[in-house]
Amino acid sequence: MSVYQLPSDLPVPVDDGACDHLPGTRAPALVLDSSWGPVDLADLCAGVAVLYVYPRTGIPGRPSPDGWDAIPGARGCTPQS
C-alpha cells in the first residue's frame, strides 16, 4: 500500500470537544529538544507558535504496527515525518 493511499476501513476522527478549553491557555515552562536546540515551551508560545510533534518514527519498507490505523489521527503520522 502506498503511503498516499488511505485504508478503506480507516475510521473517521470525531471531535469529542476534549480540547475546547485550550484556546487562551498558557503553555507551561517546559524545555524541549528541537531542531533549533533546547526551546522553552512557555517562551516559544508567548506569541503565536506552531509545534510539530510526531509520535512515531517508522522504518521505510516495514508495515505499521498492528492496530496503528485504528488510533485516531495516527495515520496522519507517517514514517516520513
**pLDDT per residue over 33-80, tens digit each?**
877 889 899 998 888 888 777 666 567 788 888 887 777 767 665 554
Q: Range of 50's domain?
A: 26-57
Q: How many independent structural domains does the chain possess?
A: 1
Sign of CA dihedral 48, 54, 60, 66: negative
- pLDDT for position 68: 79
Q: Is residue 14 part of a domain?
A: no
pTM for the structure as a whole:
0.42
Q: Is residue 21 part of a domain?
A: no
